[in-house]
Chain A
Amino acid sequence: MRFIFKTKYSQDINIAKHNGDRFWYSLLILIMAALPLVLDDFYLGEISYICILSIAGIGLMILSGYTGLASLGHAAFLGVGAYTHAFLLTNGIPFYASIPIVIVVSFLVGAAIGIPILRLTGMYLAIATLALGFIAEHVFIKWEHFTGGNRGLPVPQPEFLGMSFYDSVFFYYVCLVFLIAAMFAAINILRSPTGRAFVAIRDSEIAAQSLGVNLGLYKALSFAISGAFTGLAGALLAHYIGYLAPDIFNIFLSLTLLLLIVVGGMGSLHGTVFGAIFVGFLPQLIAICRDYLPSSIGSQPGLEPMLFGLILVFFILYEPLGIYGRWMKIKLFFELFPTYKRQTFKKQKVFTKSDRV
C-alpha cells in the first residue's frame, strides 16, 4: 500500500499522483510508440481503430460518465465530424486546417443541440437524444449536396507532413498522437473548475446549484465539449473507413459507444481505453464464440445483437463500474494482501429515489 504524504495543495490536482504513475504511463507511451516495429499492418489498423474509438469514448464519457447526461444519439456527432472533414478535404482544405474546423463545428453543433434540450433530465434526455440521432441519420441521407446521400462520399487521403494516410504506420501514429492529446485535454478539463462542476452536476443537481454552478451553462458546455471530442474521432474515422455512407452513423453505433463506456467503466478515463479495446475486439470475440457454439446457433446472424445485449445486461447488473472497476478491485487485493476484505466492495442496498415532487 502506498501512502502519499501531501505537503502542497496543488498535489491534489497533479496529473501524476506519484513517481510510479509517471514511470508506468511513460513506459506505456514508449511501448505504444514502438509497436509498429513488431506488429504487422492488420494489427496496426485494429489498434488505430481502437484509438479512434477511445477518443469518441472520451467524448461520451465526459457527457455521460462525468456529467451524468445520457446520450443515445452520439453517432450523430461522429457523423458530423466525419462528413465535415470529408467535405473540407474534398474542397482542398489541408488536413492540419481541417481538423481544427471539425472540432469547432462539432463543438458548435453540440452547443446548439445542448441548449434546447437542457431542461430535460434523465429519461427525457435519453429519449430526446435518441430522436436527434434518428433525425441526424436522416439528414445525412437527404442532404445530398453535403454528404452525397445514399451514394456515399469518398474521403480524400491527402498528404500530411509528406506522408500518406494509406500508410498504416503513419495513420497509426496520427491516431496515437490524437488519442494522447485528447486524453491530456480531457484530464485537464476534468481537473479544472469546469470539470469539477460537471461532476457536481452528476452527483446532485440541487447541491451543485446551491454551490453556484450554472446548470444550464455547464450542461450545454458538457454537450459541446463532448461533441468536439466525438467530432474529432469522426474525422479520424472518416480516414479509417475511407468511404462514408449514411447508414454507418446509425443507432447501433450510438449504442456501441454506450456499450464502450459501460463496459470500460462509467466515470473513468481509463475506462474509455479498456472499453475501446473490448469493443474493438468484439467482432473477433463473436467470431470465436461462433466456432465454439453448435453450428445451428453459431451460424445465425442474430448472435451478434444477442451477445451485445447479454454483455450490456451482465455489466449493468454485476459490474456497474466496468472493467476499470474490476481492475481497481484486483489492484487493491494485491496492495492489501493478505488483509483484503471481501466486504470492501459489497454491493450496498439501495432504494428507489423519486424524482417526483
Chain B
Amino acid sequence: MQLIQLLIDGIASGCIYGLVALGFVLIYKATETINFAQGDILMLGAFVAYSLIGILGMDYLTGFALTVLIIAVFGFFLDAVVVRQIIGQPAFATVMLTIGLGFIFRGFASIYWGTDIFSFSTPFSGKITEFNGLIISYVNLSIIVGTAILMSALYFFFTFSKIGVAMRASSENQLAAYYMGIPVKFIFSLIWSISAGVAAVAGVLLAPITLVDTSISLIGLKAFAAAVLGGFGSIPGAIVGGIIIGIVEQLCGTYENYLFEGVREISAYLVLILTLIIYPRGLFSDKAEVKKV
C-alpha cells in the first residue's frame, strides 16, 4: 500500500517533469534546438499566475487561462525576435543563447517580484481524498488530470487541426513544408508559443506544491532527464520519461537508507547519464537520432 502511495506521488511530480520535457521535445522536433530556458519560462508562468490570482484576485480558472495565454504570446515573440536570429549557427551558440535568456528571466523575476516565496490559493489547496486507505491530495490529482487533459488536447490538435498537421510537416522536413506553402517561420514561432504555454501550465499546476520563487526554474534541468529517457523527439516519450523520473525520485527518497545518502537529489541526473551511456536513443525514439562515433 505504501508503494502505491509512493507511485501516485511520483506520477504527480513526474507529470510536471513530463510537461516541461514536452516543451523541449516540441521545440527540438521542429527546430533541432534545445531551449535551456524552459524551466525559467515555467517560473515566469508561476509568477504571472501569482500576480493574476494572488494579487489581482482573479478567479483560479480565469487566471490560469490568462497566464497560459500571456506566456504563450511571450514564447511566440521570444522566437520571432530573438531566437530566430541564431538559426544556422552551431549548436553551442543556441545552448549559450537560451542559457543567457534563462538568466535574464530569472533576474527579471527577482527584480520585479522580489526574492520572497509566494503562494496563492487554489481550489485544490489542502484538500485530500481517501480511497481504500490511499491518501490522495487534490493538488496531485489536479496535476495528473491537468496533464491528461492537456495531452489529449495536444493529441487532437496535432492529428486533426490544419495548423497541427502543418507543424508536424515542418518538423519532418522544413524545405518540403516550405515548398508546400506552409509559412515555416510562423509555424516555428507558434511551436515556441505552444511549448511556452505548456511550461506555463506546468508552472501553475506546480505552484501549490513548491510555492512560487525563482528556484523552481531548476525543474527544467531535471526535465532533461525525462526528455532524454523518453527519446528526445517523442511526445508520449516525454510524458512517460517524466513519470519514470518522478517515480524513481520518490523511490530513491524513501529507500535512501538502502542506497547512499542524498541519492534523491541526483537520481534524475544519474538516470540521465545512464540512459545516455547505455541506450542514448531513449525509450520511444522511432529512429536513431543520436550519432554514434
The answer, among A215, A258, A304, A356, for a CB contact under 8 Å with B107, is: A304
- A24 and B176 alpha carbons, distance in the complex (Å): 55
A270 adjacent to chain B (CB < 8 Å): no
Chain B 245-285 per-residue mask, 1 if CB under 8 angstroms from chain A, else 0: 00000000000000011100110011011001100100000
Chain B contacts with A in 101-131, Cβ cutoff 8 A: 101-111, 115
Residues of chain B within 8 A (CB-CB) of A70 are 91-92, 95
Contact between A123 and B95, CB atoms less than 8 A apart: yes
Q: A121-B291, A123-B34, A138-B266 are in contact. Are A132 and B273 (CB under 8 A)?
A: yes
Complex alpha-carbon distance, A304 and B108, angstroms: 10
Partner of B262, one of A124, A126, A138: A138
> Are A302 and B110 interface neighbours, CB within 8 A?
yes
CB distance from A295 to the nearest CB of B (A): 13
CA A84 – CA B17 in complex, angstroms? 36
A309 to B280 Cα, complex, angstroms: 31
Quote the shortest CB–CB distance from B153 to chain A (angstroms): 28
Confirm or deny: B59 has a beta carbon within 8 angstroms of a beta carbon on chain A.
no
- Residue of A141, A306, A308 most packed against chain B (CB within 10 A): A306
List residues of chain A with CB within 8 A of the CB of B261. Answer: 142
Complexed CA–CA distance, A352 and B97 (Å): 16
Is B276 touching A124 in the complex (CB atoms < 8 A)?
yes
- Chain B contact-residue range equals 35 or more
Interfacial chain B residues near A320, Cβ < 8 Å:
89, 93
From B96, B221, B277, A312 is in contact (CB under 8 Å) with B96
- Which of B82, B103, B261 is the most central at the interface, judged by chain A CB atoms within 10 Å of its CB? B103
Contacts of B291 in A (CB 8 A): 119, 121, 355
Main SS at interface, chain B = helix
Check B85 for interface membership: any CB of A closer than 8 A.
yes
Interface of A is mostly: helix
- Say if the beta carbon of B3 comes within 8 Å of chain A: no
A305: interface (CB < 8 Å): yes
Total count of chain A residues near the partner, CB < 8 A:
57
**B181 touches A (CB below 8 Å):** no
Are A351 and B93 in contact, CB atoms less than 8 angstroms apart?
no
Contacts of B270 in A (CB 8 A): 135
Minimum CB–CB distance from B215 to chain A (whole Å) comes to 12
B174 within 8 Å of A by Cβ? yes
On whether the beta carbons of B100 and A302 are closer than 8 Å, the reply is: no
Cα distance A126–B97 when bound, in Å? 13
Q: Which residue of A lies closest to B172 (CB)?
A: A356
Choose one: B110, B115, B266, B280; the contact of A124 (CB below 8 Å): B280
Contact B100 A116 (CB under 8 A): no
On chain B, the residues within 8 Å of A215 by CB distance are 293
Give the residues from 118 to 162 in chain A that come closer than 8 angstroms, CB to CB, to chain B. Answer: 118-124, 126-128, 130-132, 134-135, 138, 141-142
Interface string of A192-231 (1 = CB under 8 A from B): 0000000000000000000000011001000000000000
Q: Which residues of chain B have C-beta atoms less than 8 A from A302's C-beta?
A: 106-111, 115, 214
Q: Which of B87, B214, B262, B276 contacts A117 (CB 8 A)?
A: B276
A7 to chain B, nearest CB (A): 37
Q: How far is the CA of A356 from the CA of B289 in the complex (A)?
A: 6
B133-160, CB < 8 A from A: none
Is B180 on the interface with A (CB-CB < 8 A)? Answer: no
Give which listed residue, B32, B101, B111, contacts A355 with CB less than 8 A.
B32
Seen from chain A, the residues whose Cβ lies within 8 Å of a Cβ on chain B are: 64, 68, 70, 72, 116-124, 126-128, 130-132, 134-135, 138, 141-142, 215-216, 219, 255, 258, 262, 266, 297, 300-313, 316-317, 320, 350-357
* Extra A-B contacts (10), CB below 8 Å, given A306-B107, A308-B107: A117-B276, A127-B224, A131-B273, A302-B109, A302-B115, A302-B214, A309-B107, A316-B97, A352-B32, A354-B32
